[in-house]
Amino acid sequence: MLPTESSQLRRIEGITILGPDFFATDQDGKPLSPIAVIFPKWLLLVMGRGIHAELVVMGGEALRAWLLETEKRDPTAEEEEEIYENVVSLLVRDSIVLIRSYPDDMKRVFAADELLQRLLPKERIQFTGVHIPEVREQLRRRGENWRFSPPPRSAKEICQDIRASRVQVKTGTTYFQNAQSGERFLTYEEFIRIRPLLRQAPGEALVRLKEIDYLSRLVNDQEVSELSFFIPAKKRLMTNLLEDLTLVLENAESRQDVERAEDFFDHFAMSFAEAAGDELTVDGEKHTTWQTTMFCRLYDLDEELVEERTLGLSPEFHLNVRWLPGAQLGGNEVAFEAKAEPRVRSLITCFLQAWPGIVSINIGRVESSLTERDRTGEEREVYLVVLSLPQGGEEIRLLRLMKWDVIHRLKQGFPLSQAISDTIRYRDYVVDRLRATAALEIPILSYSAIEFTEEVQEIGQIPVFFFDRRYVAGMVSDKIPLHYYAKPGFVIRLARLLGAAAAASMVLGRANYRRGDLFFDDGDEVIQLNAEKLPERLIISETTGSFTNSTTPISGLLPQCLSHLAVHLKKARDRGISREDLKTAVAVFAEALKAEIERMQSLLSDQSVALQSLFDGHTSEPGSLRERWKSMMDRLAATDTAEVQRDVFSSPHLAEFMSP
């Protein structure tokens, strides 16, 4: 323990501190301790300005002085080396202290963390090194994803941040600016807007291009570029053509000179587009990849190192998961974080019972809905759970709170006893829908129910129900990155999978109970690709809305499916796919649709008694599950698949793709 007689030294919670407090500021409001170093073995913390190396020297001098005072000697060579090998660097940012991670010696880093927790709440101490796999792995294994993940925003907040970042300099060109670093970003779509000005207003085109060229070669006082081109993190774009372009345009005196300038422009634009890729060439907050990448640029994040991406999750999860304080596991002991929410504690307890021996558990709440469906009145919560398994590897689970739960029913004015009983009946109804889907051998995921009780203020104990399933890697069909559509054969293989999925949605009567819209191709169909990045398999991840529409003939539901198919065909056409391939895609969709309905009809024929009597144990009043199931089976048996196939080819939704 170091002495504290010096006016510069003080001791708090057994730690000797040299320098100002963590968040102290000078008279101008600037931090007095933007950096710090800590010596875990010696219980010494040194804070101040300058560089870390200077603070390490100050710490070393304090340790030598202590040895001279207490033991009347200088440190040995071994002790001197140990002093400098024991240090951990810290950064102070607003109200957070960041610990610099050392992937080869995380034991030292965690020792520093334990000391800092004597001085600060745990949630105010975070780790750097999210880009280092070894660091991510060790934090994940401690159940502490929440201590290095960038905080997510809702989709609305992200859009607002992006819109608020739009700036202009001296011309009409609009950039997106990182407020912290000052760096501006130029998108391909904004750049290409200059193209018609080369003829219509060459003077305006020239000043815009000169501004872009000038800013792209400047570095500001924070040593970042004044202007960067909006392309993926690892891509590079050569800009020498820009200078040539401005020179040609500046000296243009004839039509031929303008045409030459256009050639230079087109060559650079082509390079820009190739570097950006399809996902970043079209501006818009509704494009998930564009939105995520722009948000990362505005907040100095590498989109490739977002935790949700490193876990292999699809883009709709990126920056959309708030990792929550949970628990650290050690042998048979569970140490819950002080800030762990009661619901998180209950979920962890349930998983520890269902998955004995897991090494760690991390739970994150999905902040924004993964689909664009109307969720009015629903008590929706979605969680991601990452389990580190004892034999190595990870299991990722997706949990959904039952949308019409006890709280929902209490808000509707029902008494508590009825709210609970109705909720239990609805849970059983969802289980029955899953049972019906399995009976028709439709490819869906396996679900299990999680149930626990929760104390609600002024109400008391209520049951809480979640449905738990394995997360499956893949792309949801309505969020396929645009560049895939340019691949030969992609849309044809996709159409075949969508044809079978459309049959499942129509036979199950999956519809919105408010408006009657069919649930199809809007977030529940997961597409998995083969080694050639072509659609190989489709999994229906949810059976939302099943049994809602049990009476409308298949021919009456079909147009809604075909309108979705048309969207995919347009995306493929816009990326150069031939008319013949688009017509083939329509044909394979119709073929797969017909084949899947006929497969279920054959199943109904072979197992008529078993399927028809699936819900005979239920009541048979009008609108009951039993009656709706009977109606659905009658509808399936009566469907003329040849007529359905003809309806596909004659649909006005697909006419533009079927004409010669």
Distance of CA 215 to the CA centre of its chain: 32
CA distance 201 to 221: 34
What burial letters (b/e) apply to 180-198, b meaning 16+ CB within 10 Å?
A: ebebbbbbbebbeebeebb
Tell me the residue ranges of DSSP E strands in 471-556.
Answer: 475-476, 525-529, 535-540
Q: Is the dihedral of CA 562, 563, 564, 568 positive or negative?
A: positive
CA distance 170 to 284: 24
CA distance 62 to 126: 27
Chain segment 144-183, per-residue pLDDT in tens: 988 875 555 666 777 887 888 888 888 989 999 887 677 8
Tell me the residue ranges of DSSP E strands in 286-393.
Answer: 321-324, 327-330, 333-336, 360-366, 382-388
Chain segment 112-149, per-residue pLDDT in tens: 999 999 999 999 998 877 667 788 888 888 999 888 75
pLDDT at 325: 94
Inform me whether the pLDDT recorded for 2 exceeds 60: no
Inform me whether the pLDDT recorded for 582 exceeds 60: yes
- Of 75-79, 423-427, 595-599, least confident by mean pLDDT is 75-79
CA distance 623 to 627: 6
The kind and range of the H/E element at 108 are helix 106-116
SS3 at position 515 = coil
What does the DSSP 8-state code read for residue 40? G
CB 509 within 8 A of CB 549: yes
Distance in angstroms between the alpha carbons of the first and the last residue of the chain? 87
CB 76 within 8 A of CB 8: no
Which residue pairs from 29-32 have beta carbons closer than 8 angstroms and sit at least 24 positions apart in sequence?
31/92
The kind and range of the H/E element at 235 are none
Instruction: Provide Rg for the chain, Cα atoms.
Output: 31
Chain segment 258-269, per-residue pLDDT in tens: 898 999 999 999
Average pLDDT over residues 65-86: 80
Among residues 217, 183, 152, 155, which one has the least CA distance to residue 300? Answer: 183
Chain segment 526-581, per-residue pLDDT in tens: 999 999 999 999 998 888 889 999 999 999 999 999 999 999 999 999 888 999 99
Pairing type for strands 125-127 and 96-99 reads: parallel
pLDDT at 360: 93
Q: What is the domain partition of the chain in residue ranges?
A: 9-128, 155-298, 321-470, 475-658
CA distance 586 to 543: 25
For residue 390, what are its two tokens? 């004892």
Confidence class of residue 57 from pLDDT cuts 50, 70 and 90?
A: confident
For residue 479, what are its two tokens? 């969020």
Q: Is the dihedral of CA 410, 413, 417, 419 positive or negative?
A: negative
CA distance 559 to 417: 43
Chain segment 245-255, per-residue pLDDT in tens: 889 898 888 88
Q: Indicate the residue type of 31.
A: P
Q: Angle at CA 444, nearest 5°, toward 440 and 446?
A: 110
CA distances from 563 to 93, 148, 580, 646 (A): 50, 43, 19, 16
